[in-house]
Chain A
Amino acid sequence: MTDVFDKITPDDTTEAPKAPAAQNWRLEENDGTRTLWLDCAGTGTNVISEAVLRELDTLLDEAKQAQPEVLAIRSAKPGGFGAGADIDGFSDLSREDAVAMLRQGHAVLEKLAALPFPTVAVVDGTTLGGAFELTLACDHRIGVEGVKLGFPEIQLGLHPGLGGTFRLTNLIDPVEAMQMMLTGRSAHDSKAKKLGIIDALVPERHVDAAIAAAASGGLDHEGSFRASALRTRAARGLAATRMRSESQKKAPRAHFPAPFALIDLWEDHGGDASEMQKAEIASFATLLDSTTAQNLIRVFFLRQRLKSSGKGEHGIAHVHVIGAGAMGSEIAAWAAMQGKWVTIEDIELAPLGQTIRRAARIYERKHLSGIDTRDALDRLMPDPDRLGRARADLIIEAGPEKIGIKEGIYAELTNEMKPGAILATNTSSLPLASLIDAAPDPAHFAGLHFFNPVSSMPLVEIVSHDLASQETLDRLASFTTEIDRLPARVTDYPGFLVNRVLAPYMMEAMLILDEGHDKVAIDRAALAFGMPIGPVTLADQIGLDICLEVGRSLRQGLDTPVADTPDWLKEKVEKGETGKKARKGLYDYENEDPPKDPADDPDQQVIDRLILPMCNAAVEVLRKGVAPDADTIDAAMIFGTGWAPFRGGPLHYARVRGDAPDALRRLAEKHGTRFDPDPGWDTLG
């Protein structure tokens, strides 16, 4: 049967021809409305590049000549107005070049803002960063339902640089504007309307009528009352102080200068748009030069890189998860939220109930609407009768980490799975090699290792083995991308990539503890380095029993020296003090909270002992070919563990630092062979 809705919906947003001599803009003239359609050449997503602005400059001159009743600017791409500025090659600009380029861009937007007739931007879908800034130079913004506007620059260690800082703080309540820029959080349709970013929120079918309304002066922008209240520097000073302390809580100034630069900018110049514009350019250029921004831009590209490693047809519509523990449940809930039909089985009913509860909570945290939550839960079916086994395109086994149990499950699956379906194991501690023999079809078997909690850790390791087919690995990587996670292709190695590199962080912390150091001081030192969580807290969170097991399996599987486990740790586990889940581990969760604030003056020795072994392990996995290249390793550590992103990853950090092998050698002399620099350092560029 034909899809009627599809049939009556045109394929293209517009049929307007490209503007003369322009690559990225279409031009349409209709009844006094002149429309500039942004349609970046050779890509599915608009980005505001130097060429886009240069062409716009000419088009604005022509528009000024033509004197239309109204000038509308909108996007010809189905996904939204635009993703932001073009940051390809961005980070390589010299400070002078950056300033020159910014000035040119500002001049174009000023020309737009100064046009003598009404200008309207139609914003839809994703409208971020530079694209958002372009629309802020128009008199009106008409939002199409579902629009999402925001400034994610802060995540790149920057702030808006194309007029966003002074235009948004002038347009809406400046405190709200600052919040958006400081957090990088975007405003969705009705929120954007409420804030006053858009003057109308309409479904696509009423856009033309709304443009006509704007042309005849029928669209009013409601000014912000707080804007006038914050016109004095003293009033801004109070607000700025609060913002600084909020920002400091989230990320220290030393590592993340951008929020503080933005707050200074507003506090100093918030009352004077033209001064703020000048200062914005200078501040942006300075930030762009900073190590933090350079590394965060690098992280942005690492993300793109992982994403692009998972593309193409995967044919996975139905996922069946075996085992409704924490991981199985998280995976199932996440996949259902991303549009997959999911069945999940367990030998008990109670954990299946908990899966639904957990899913409902995740959807709440992710701000799903009532209808989206219902639909996701409808797609997520607890399956005590294991009906999904025969129907699924992908079965993810998340059963207990015991070879015997997994073998039993695989034996049953042999007769149940449909032809061509993939069996993936979420094991984190068992070598795939030990499971291949039991797998129904080794060619269609691989590791799909998610990180906990799946809903906030974007990485998934796609673990290969000798008999896995390339097609299976490609399908898994592509599936991972489709459910909005980042695939890292790794080989079968003890701890695979991430856990192998991360393990020394906790194991070394145990030995430092053993020497009598204070656990809080250890954790706070790690936080000061920029780790998202201290090693002692992390060990508790993972579970000390599991840490013991990881240590054991690494010692068994690796041919490099591994830190010993202190005896008291075993005793603790035997006593049942296994960490956060038992409310008692290295911390006593009834009586104390692990620290969240970084040390002001951390012990550099402690930091080196925690961090350098991870760098060393990263070199080892690179040498062993566990990941295809150094960037994948850095990316995996950042997206799988939150490894200090502004430092660019363990290998990048070591490379920049320069003295890592020597520092390791010194640590080895003092503390033992586990610090011996890996032979791979010699060949590391």
Chain B
Amino acid sequence: MSRPVYLVDGARTPFLKARGKPGPFTPVDLAVQAGRPLLMRQPFAATAFDLVILGCVNVIQDEMNPARVAALRLGMGEHQVAFTVQINCGSGMQSIDTAFRYIRDGSHEMILAGGTEALSHAPLVYSRDATEWFGQMARAKGPIDKARALAEFRPDFFSPVIGLERGLTDPITSLNMGQTAEVLAHRFGIDRVTADTYAVESHKRLAAAQSEGRLKGEVLPVFDRDGEAHEHDDGVRPDSSVDKLAKLDPAFEKPYGKVTPGNSSQITDGASWVILASETAVEAHGLEPIAKIVDSQWAALDPGIMGLGPVLAATPLAQRHGLACDDIDLWEINEAFAAQVLACIAAWQDDDFCREVLGYDAAFGRIDRGHLNVDGGAISLGHPVGTSGNRIVLHLANALIHRGAKRGIATECIGGGLGGAMLLEAA
């Protein structure tokens, strides 16, 4: 059985920049903030879903299986089955892909699929020695034991590393994600100015999308307990310029590296949901789909060049559906790093690469910047890792409608050497 699957609606929180302390929302708080108004604007009850799937990488201890916690907090009923998926930076797309396959295969009619991440809540991680010491202290009985344990304390036990830093380091190659982008910049000859120029454009596009209302209905305001209303992605810098970015030092490989905080994605908190439905559900509830999910693909490659994941995942989609470069009207390639996105574009333009790696006779083609990340991306609005995959699919669907375009691909690189891609058509 292969049934059509529709994306009928979706919404996300503004992406909130991590500002050196835990933000106002946990991962599930964010999912609830985005989910409440989304569910409220549907013509059906919150209990009408067959399943809830939520992507989340950094699950906090109080919210194991955040999908289920979110479903219950959203009033979706105690009978709501819900599970959480994790494939690192692809988690928010993994949730959509799982939902897509379940509906396509006929076992489900309507699924709420999302992604959430509160990177500002990433825990501090103590060294193994320090953890052992804490355990010894806890087990110590009586003053002598305690004193003995205490004597073994070393000051560096109190030097935890932020868990996030570890999470962004590849466990196989020990390269930081930024370093994998440096590798690509080097191999594809992406220079600093090109990367910075790309980053500036990302900010300008997001600023324009915000002021021209192209995110209306997609980004919904959230409200914290201190009374603050967060309306927009707050990492945007409309006044960004190549000159300003040129002043930043490399973030990962000093002093010669090309990847800086200015041309990398921002560390942010945010959540995103989409509603996927079968034709049956669309008819039963009188829904108006915005897009049809046509196909999806995952791919894998050497973790040290994970940034090429989009090329390896998206190309089979194009090949399977006989699509040339020009047949794809809009691209969302998650902006982990400007150099990494530019390397993908370069790879698709490279005859040798396309012939030897992708099996084409010649280069796939040139993806015009005018068709790529048209309303900004993770460099300007941030990259809450478990959420981004969901956001780019949702935004692609909305952008297709806004621009009257037909077909698009949303794709992302995934730390650990993976790529994910999804082919959409406007409904």
Contact = CB atoms under 8 A, between A and B. Distances in A.
Are A and B part of the same complex? Answer: yes
A381 B229 CA distance: 12
B75 A341 contact: yes
Interface string B25-54: 000000010001100110000000000000
Interface size class on chain A is 20 to 34
A387 B227 contact: no
Contacts of A356: 223-225, 227
A377 B229 contact: no
Contact of B231 (A349, A354, A378, A388): A349
Nearest to B217: A385
A239 B79 CA distance: 56
Interface in A601-634: none
Interface in B67-88: 73-75, 78-79
Nearest to A377: B225
B226 interface: yes
Contact of A381 (B40, B227, B228): B40
B37 A387 contact: yes
B356 to A, nearest CB: 52
Interface in B12-36: 32, 36
Contacts of A63: none
Given A349-B231, A378-B32, A385 B224 contact: no
A387 B229 CA distance: 18
Contacts of A383: 37, 40
Interface in A98-125: none
A354 B74 CA distance: 22
Nearest to B227: A357
Contacts of A374: 73
Interface of B is mostly: loop
Most A CB contacts (10 A, CB to CB) among B32, B37, B75, B229 go to: B229
Most B CB contacts (10 A, CB to CB) among A343, A352, A378 go to: A378
B41 A360 contact: no
A352 B75 contact: no
B79 to A, nearest CB: 5
A353 B75 contact: no
A349 B37 CA distance: 15
B221 interface: yes
A557 interface: no
A381 B220 CA distance: 12
Contacts of A3: 78
A350 B224 CA distance: 11
B229 A385 contact: no
Interface string A368-410: 0000001101110111110110010000000000000000000
Nearest to A373: B225
Given A375-B73, A378-B32, A382-B221, A343 B227 contact: no
Interface string A1-43: 1010000000000000000000000000000000000000000
A341 B231 CA distance: 23
Contacts of A375: 73
Contact of A343 (B40, B73, B79): B40
Contacts of B74: 378
Nearest to A349: B229
Given A1-B79, A381-B36, A382-B223, A353 B228 contact: yes
A353 B79 contact: no
A264 to B, nearest CB: 46
B229 A353 contact: yes
A387 B224 contact: no
Given A1-B79, A378-B32, A378-B73, A360 B40 contact: no
A420 B313 CA distance: 53
B104 to A, nearest CB: 26
A381 B37 contact: yes
A352 B32 CA distance: 17
A355 B37 CA distance: 17
Given A381-B40, A383-B40, A387-B40, A357 B225 contact: yes
Nearest to B79: A1
A377 to B, nearest CB: 7
Interface in A336-365: 341, 343, 349-350, 352-358, 360
Contacts of A378: 32, 36, 73-75
Contacts of B36: 378, 381
A343 B225 CA distance: 16
Contact of B229 (A1, A350, A358, A379): A350
B262 to A, nearest CB: 30
Nearest to B77: A1
A560 B223 CA distance: 48
Interface string B286-321: 000000000000000000000000000000000000
B73 A353 contact: no
Given A1-B79, A341-B75, A354 B40 contact: no
A355 B226 CA distance: 10
A120 to B, nearest CB: 35
B223 A385 contact: no
B229 A357 contact: no
Nearest to B45: A391
Contacts of B225: 356-357, 360, 377
B41 A387 contact: yes
Contacts of B220: 385
A341 B73 CA distance: 12
Nearest to A384: B221
B224 A353 contact: yes
Contacts of A352: 221, 223, 229
A524 to B, nearest CB: 36
A134 B414 CA distance: 67
A391 B40 contact: yes
A349 B227 CA distance: 10
Nearest to A364: B225
B121 to A, nearest CB: 15
A394 to B, nearest CB: 16
A350 B231 CA distance: 10
A115 B37 CA distance: 62
Most B CB contacts (10 A, CB to CB) among A352, A358, A381 go to: A381
A522 B221 CA distance: 49
A349 B221 contact: yes
A344 to B, nearest CB: 10
A384 B41 CA distance: 12
A139 B32 CA distance: 49
Contacts of B226: 357
Interface in B214-237: 220-221, 223-229, 231
A385 B220 CA distance: 9
B28 to A, nearest CB: 9
Given A341-B75, A349-B221, A378-B32, A385 B37 contact: yes
A355 B229 CA distance: 10
Contacts of A358: 227
B40 A353 contact: no
Contacts of A382: 221, 223, 229
Interface string B175-207: 000000000000000000000000000000000
Contacts of B227: 353-354, 356-358
Most A CB contacts (10 A, CB to CB) among B32, B40, B231 go to: B40
Nearest to B74: A378
A3 to B, nearest CB: 8
Interface of B: 32, 36-37, 40-41, 73-75, 78-79, 220-221, 223-229, 231
* A-B CB proximity, top 8 nearest: A357-B227, A353-B229, A349-B229, A360-B225, A387-B40, A353-B227, A356-B223, A354-B227
21 contacts: A1-B79, A3-B78, A349-B229, A349-B231, A352-B221, A352-B229, A353-B227, A353-B228, A355-B223, A356-B225, A357-B227, A375-B73, A377-B225, A378-B32, A378-B74, A378-B75, A381-B37, A382-B221, A382-B229, A385-B220, A391-B40
Given A355-B223, A357-B225, A360-B225, 16 more contacts: A349-B231, A352-B221, A352-B229, A353-B223, A354-B227, A356-B223, A356-B225, A357-B227, A374-B73, A378-B32, A378-B74, A379-B75, A381-B37, A382-B229, A385-B37, A387-B40
